[in-house]
């Protein structure tokens, strides 16, 4: 069996971002299936953490199964499932107006919340929760605005990614919807639960009961995956199979040395070109 590099030899928990690390669009990134298997054979717990709130965790299970990666629903932490868990800690059986898609609605319903589609009384709504909505409508924005400004609803968001990577380039991300509601209410979300906030990683550490010093995150985005990992105090590994290049990281390191206003939590502990480089040659 190959040996993990020294920096990772004590790892008991590996958290993987999905797009840009395990697959890219509809294509498996070569060897990621074998590597997940190999880690599990070493009794390293593997979980997946994505900011995409549009699909259910069951769909992720099926997507990864198609790529030959065996996993179960509880192995996934999406910004939708993390949001639902955190909202439940604040209030059980809440009345929620959602700007978002099926993944977010179904995760909220699964934890007992009432997702209101037609709002008749704005005062009834406890929370407005915003995630990526690829069918974003002016009327829903107007309803959300009224729930917050005329009712008592509190504003939360799944994530604030500016862009969404697709097979060819980029599309608008959830941050666009979040900013729309910010603009028309003059309010900031009370919380944003996805990466780079550490809620998801903290939930994973709590669920697995593995201490932060034995955990790591593999991600392709500095301002979500790496920032979240460093904020949560786990080891961070940037994988260059997605949106980040070595030039971007080197440039950031240079600027942080010159002590420009760079958040050092954006800088990964380890950089690997692909997942194979987590092993010794
Ligand atoms: Mg990614």
Boundaries of every domain in the chain:
6-51+195-278, 91-192
**Could you tell me the distance, in angstroms and rounded to a whole number, from the CA of residue 120 to the centre of ligand 1?**
39
**Could you tell me the distance, in angstroms and rounded to a whole number, from the CA of residue 133 to the centre of ligand 1?**
18
What pLDDT, in 10s, does the model give residues 55-102? 999 999 999 999 999 999 999 999 999 999 999 999 999 999 999 999
**Could you tell me the distance, in angstroms and rounded to a whole number, from the CA of residue 113 to the centre of ligand 1?**
29
pTM for the whole thing? 0.95
Task: Compute the distance between CA of residue 212 and CA of residue 216 in angstroms, rounded to an integer.
Answer: 8
For residue 56, with 0-12 CB atoms within 10 Å meaning exposed, 13-18 middle and 19 or more buried, which class applies? buried
- The pLDDT value recorded for residue 262 is 87
Task: Compute the distance between CA of residue 100 and CA of residue 221 in angstroms, rounded to an integer.
Answer: 23
Q: Are 99 and 69 in contact (CB under 8 A)?
A: no
**Could you tell me the distance, in angstroms and rounded to a whole number, from the CA of residue 7 to the centre of ligand 1?**
22
What pLDDT, in 10s, does the model give residues 46-67? 999 999 999 999 999 999 999 9
Beta pairing class for 45-50 and 76-78: parallel
What pLDDT, in 10s, does the model give residues 177-214? 999 999 999 999 999 999 999 999 999 999 999 999 99
Which residues, listed in sequence order, are joined to residue 163 by a DSSP beta bridge?
172
Task: Compute the distance between CA of residue 108 and CA of residue 145 in angstroms, rounded to an integer.
Answer: 20
- The pLDDT value recorded for residue 218 is 98
22-26, 120-124, 202-206, 211-215: range with lowest mean pLDDT? 22-26
**Could you tell me the distance, in angstroms and rounded to a whole number, from the CA of residue 20 to the centre of ligand 1?**
5
Average per-residue pLDDT for the chain: 96
**Could you tell me the distance, in angstroms and rounded to a whole number, from the CA of residue 94 to the centre of ligand 1?**
31
**Could you tell me the distance, in angstroms and rounded to a whole number, from the CA of residue 9 to the centre of ligand 1?**
24
**Are domains 6-51+195-278 and 91-192 of this chain identical in fold?**
yes
**Could you tell me the distance, in angstroms and rounded to a whole number, from the CA of residue 46 to the centre of ligand 1?**
16
Task: Compute the distance between CA of residue 227 and CA of residue 259 in angstroms, rounded to an integer.
Answer: 18
The fold for domain 6-51+195-278 equals Rossmann fold (3.40.50)
- The pLDDT value recorded for residue 158 is 98
**Could you tell me the distance, in angstroms and rounded to a whole number, from the CA of residue 79 to the centre of ligand 1?**
13
Mean pLDDT of the 7-34 span: 95
Which residues, listed in sequence order, are joined to residue 88 by a DSSP beta bridge?
none
The fold for domain 91-192 equals Rossmann fold (3.40.50)
**Could you tell me the distance, in angstroms and rounded to a whole number, from the CA of residue 17 to the centre of ligand 1?**
6
Task: Compute the distance between CA of residue 134 and CA of residue 225 in angstroms, rounded to an integer.
Answer: 23
Radius of gyration of the chain (CA): 19
């Amino acid at each position: 069996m190959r040996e993990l590099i020294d920096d990772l030899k004590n790892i008991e928990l590996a958290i993987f971002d999905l797009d840009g690390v395990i697959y890219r669009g509809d294509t498996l990134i070569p060897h990621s299936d074998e590597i997940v298997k190999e880690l599990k054979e070493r009794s390293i717990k593997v979980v997946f953490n994505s900011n995409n709130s549009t699909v259910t965790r069951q769909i992720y299970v099926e997507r990864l199964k198609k790529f030959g990666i065996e996993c179960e629903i509880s192995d996934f932490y999406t910004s939708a499932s993390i949001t639902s868990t955190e909202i439940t800690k604040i209030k059980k059986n809440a009345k929620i107006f959602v700007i978002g898609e099926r993944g977010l609605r179904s995760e909220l319903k699964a934890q007992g919340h009432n997702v209101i589609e037609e709002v008749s009384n704005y005062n009834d709504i406890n929370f407005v929760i915003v995630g990526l909505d690829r069918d974003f409508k002016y009327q829903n924005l107007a309803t959300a605005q009224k729930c917050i400004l005329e009712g008592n609803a509190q504003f939360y968001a799944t994530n604030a990614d500016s862009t969404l990577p697709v097979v060819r380039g980029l599309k608008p991300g959830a941050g666009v919807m979040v900013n729309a509601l910010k603009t028309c209410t003059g309010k900031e979300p009370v919380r944003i639960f996805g990466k780079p906030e550490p809620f998801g990683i903290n939930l994973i550490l709590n669920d697995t009961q593995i201490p932060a010093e034995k955990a790591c995150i593999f991600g392709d985005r500095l301002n979500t995956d790496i920032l979240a990992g460093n904020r949560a105090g786990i080891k961070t590994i940037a994988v260059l199979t997605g949106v980040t290049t070595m030039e971007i990281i080197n440039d950031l390191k240079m600027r942080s040395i010159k002590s420009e206003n760079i958040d050092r939590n954006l800088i990964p502990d380890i950089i690997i070109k692909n997942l194979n480089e987590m092993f010794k040659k």
